[in-house]
Amino acid sequence: MDVSEKIKILPHNPGVYRFLNKEGKIIYIGKAKDLKKRVSQYFTTPERLTAKTRVLVQNIADIQHTVVESEQDALLLENNLIKEYKPKYNILLKDSKTYPWICISKEPFPRIFLTRRMVRNGSLYFGPYSSVQHAHNLLDLINTLYKIRSCRFSLTPEAIGSGKYKECLDFHIKKCYAPCAGKISETEYLKQIEDITNILKGNCASLIKEFKEKMERSAANLEFEEAQHYKESMELLRNHYSKSLIVHPRVTNIDVFSLVFDGYNVFGNYLQVNNGCIVQTLNLQLKMNIEEDKQEILSRFIAEIHAITSASSNNDKESDEILVQYLPDVTFQGKNIHVPLKGDKLSLLELSIKNANAFKFQQLKQEALNAGEHAGEKGQRGNIAVEMLKRELGMNEPPLHIECFDNSNIQGTNPVASCVVFKNGKPSKKDYRHFNIKTVVGANDFASMHEVVYRRYSRLLAEKAPLPQLILIDGGRGQLNFACRALSELGLLGKIKIIGIAKRLEELVIPDDPVPLFLDKNSPSLKLLMNLRDEAHRFGITHHRARRSKGQIESALRQISGVGETTERKLLSAYKSVKRIAEAPVEEISAIVGKSLAAKIKNFFSRQ
């Protein structure tokens, strides 16, 4: 049974579909509210699909599907299958690194430590934390407030009673109560663990109240050193609580999700609010391999975060309210998902978006620096804008050599074109070129673009000169298509990346992709392309003005009978301008061109 026949028998039920290539390997997994409708959308006219989706469809040799009870079941099954098979065209996590957790071990006199590996042995795990520094800060706070053991001894009652362990340095510097030597009972020690658990869950308010009561009681009993200890502990907790961002006491148990897009990269932020305080924040970067709706991506992001945090011990009070920028395409059972419009909840969402943007900037900068270091190993100068452009355009190598073309004419007169060259993100002015349009009559920017691109690269091929990695066309889809035609005639289409840049919205036009690419207006890569475009326009318009000015001089002198190129050159050399020739006495002109022609010249300018 071929693919078209399989589509016909697909049910109108929610489920998960799998596309396989001719080798039988799964290349894409998707979920659907209606399997038949969703899968049929891929097999529509190619013009309605993006370039990457068309490539996916061309590789589909077989379809498999699984029917489930609900959309949410489909989302969970899809998420699990993607992790298992890692299909080529699915949205995947950018990296497979595990995030750190804070663990309270399941053993007598529990230890507290940072780990990246979760062992399901009854221990409590808090996190995950996207910032290792934040996790270390929490541990520092805990170790300052409480005296928790750091040793790995098995502190069974028998081992403690036998006296086999002695107090270590931590006991003598007052960092541990030495439970190994029986200096503290297990009940007293577990009271510390209970307080620490409340801190990790974000329940700091009750602890602050407890410390305040103990401080006042100690002061009343004239135990001033102990009162000072409780005061300092209370201030430490207050400082931590204030840095965690108190939203509002009424804003409790809320999850916040936001996404920021950058080309085919997606940057997500998750905030967990508990008792009016942000107790957890997590960032994830995902990579799209085909164009997908933002609602679908948001559903997957929510499912991925829930999968990561489901094992966390600070998730015992699961939020039933979720704040988002727009509604996902899946309804989550028991969850009130909505877009806030005002107040503290809107401020929370804006904070999450701000965090996602900061995470995007940090990740892109780090990727560019890493790529720059790699380029430096090859003896090339790293350039952040160039490296970012490589990633955003999906190129295999950084565009260290970029050429940009622009046309200039006024109502078809004196048509010219310019080609500017940037190397390593900087202008290479010795490589700039002007073109006088030779084969095109009138104002035809499309044909002019075809002519200059063909002339430029046919010459480079003939001279065996280096070709650019990227060609930028100043104009929309029309100019880009004619430039692509010229490259195709030279056998270079597909070997050199070519794009267009439209002035109105600064969108990038990609060959064979009906959807333009929008880059962040503040991104260094877009600014580099805009600099190229503006430089090509400046260089081209300067040459066009020079030709227009020269044409005006020629038209004025060449209209006189008997004045040819040699005579014109003599006169301009002597007088420098047509105006001075017109004002010069006839005797002076006669000394240069003779009396007869001098009289004709004076008569001509007198009539003018």
Position 487 confidence tier, pLDDT thresholds 50, 70, 90? very high
* Distance of alpha carbon 18 from alpha carbon 89, whole angstroms: 11
The verdict on 520 and 418 lying in the same domain is yes
pLDDT tops 70 at residue 90: yes
Residues 397 and 533 in one domain: yes
Could you tell me the CA-to-CA distances from 470 to 53, 389, 492 in Å, in that order?
23, 10, 12
Q: Does 469 lie in the same domain as 337?
A: no
Residue with tokens 């690419």: 517
Which bin fits 71, alpha (ψ -120 to 50), beta or left (φ > 0)? alpha
Q: Is the pLDDT assigned to residue 578 strictly greater than 80? A: no
Give yes or no: residues 11 and 84 share one domain: yes
149 and 293 in a single domain? The answer is no
334: domain CATH number?
3.30.70
What are the backbone angles phi and psi of residue 303, rounded to the nearest 5°? -65, -40
The answer to whether residue 431 sits within a structural domain is: yes
Residue 426, both tokens: 């900087």
* Domain contains 536: yes
Quote the pLDDT of residue 380: 43
Q: What is the per-residue burial (b if ≥16 Cβ within 10 Å, else e) of 53-63?
A: bbebbebbeeb
CATH number, residue 591: 1.10.150.20
The answer to whether residue 120 sits within a structural domain is yes
**Res. 371 pLDDT band, cuts 50 70 90:** low
Q: In this structure, what CATH number is given to the domain that contains residue 83?
A: 3.40.1440.10
Domain count across the chain: 5
Question: Residue 537 domain-assigned?
Answer: yes
Burial class (CB in 10 A: 0-12, 13-18, 19+), 136: middle
The answer to whether residue 530 sits within a structural domain is yes
Mean pLDDT of 483-487: 92
Asked whether residue 530 falls in the same domain as residue 587, the answer is no
Q: Does the residue 378 lie in any domain?
A: no
Residue ending a domain, among 48, 67, 90, is: 90
> Is the pTM for the entire model greater than 0.75?
no
Share the mean pLDDT of the chain.
81
| pLDDT bracket for residue 96 (50, 70, 90) | very low
Which domain-ending residue is among 216, 243, 270?
A: 243
Residue type, 154: S
pLDDT on residue 378: 42
Is 468 inside a domain boundary? yes
Residues 475, 602 within the same domain: no
Query: Residue by residue, what is the 3-state secondary structure of 87-153?
Result: CCCCCEECCCCCCCEEEECCCCCCCEEEECCCCCCCCEEECCCCCHHHHHHHHHHHHHHCCCCCCCC
Q: Stretch 503-511: mean pLDDT, rounded?
A: 78
Q: What is the pLDDT of residues 123-150, one digit of tens each?
A: 888 877 766 777 787 788 788 888 888 8
Question: For residue 494, is pLDDT > 90?
Answer: no
- Whether 554 is covered by a domain: the verdict is no
Higher confidence at residue 608 or residue 188?
188
Q: Does position 577 have pLDDT exceeding 80, yes or no?
A: no
Do 226 and 120 sit in the same domain of this protein? yes
Helix axis angle, 224-243 relative to 132-145, nearest 10°? 160
Helix or strand or coil: residue 482? helix
- At 457, is the pLDDT very low, low, confident or very high (cuts 50, 70, 90)? very high
pLDDT recorded at residue 419: 92
The whole-number average pLDDT for the span 226-232 is 82
Residue-level length of the chain: 608
Asked if 232 and 280 sit in the same domain, the reply is no
Mean pLDDT across the stretch 276-302? 79
Provide the pLDDT for residue 499: 92
Looking at residue 369, its pLDDT comes to 63
The confidence score (pLDDT) of residue 456 equals 92
539 and 409 within one domain: yes
Determine the Cα–Cα distance for residues 504 and 495; give it in Å rounded to an integer.
29
Q: In this structure, are 236 and 119 located in the same domain?
A: yes
Range of the domain at 588: 559-607
408 with 535, same domain? Answer: yes
The pLDDT value given to residue 381 = 41
pLDDT tier, 413 (very low <50, low <70, confident <90, very high otherwise): low
Band of residue 249 on the pLDDT scale cut at 50, 70, 90: low
| Greatest mean pLDDT among 139-153, 198-212, 396-410, 416-430 | 416-430
Assess whether the previous peptide bond of 128 is cis (omega < 30° from 0). yes
Listing DSSP states for 213-277 in one string gives HHHHHHHHTT-HHHHHHHHHHHHHHHHHHHHT-B--TT--SEEEEEEEEETTEEEEEEEEEETTE
**Final residue in a domain of this structure, among 37, 59, 90:** 90
Residues of the chain above pLDDT 70, percent: 84
Task: Considering only residues 338 and 207, tell me which one the structure prediction assigns the higher pLDDT.
Answer: 338
The pLDDT score that the predictor gives to residue 246 is 46
Q: Is the pLDDT of residue 254 over 60?
A: yes
Residue 551 has pLDDT above 60, yes or no: no
- Write the Ramachandran bin of 558: left for phi over 0, alpha for psi from -120 to 50, otherwise beta: alpha
pLDDT exceeds 50 at position 570: yes
Residue 1 has pLDDT above 90, yes or no: no
Cα distance between residue 16 and residue 594, in whole Å: 94
Range from 14-23, 78-87, 274-283, 442-451 that averages highest in pLDDT: 14-23
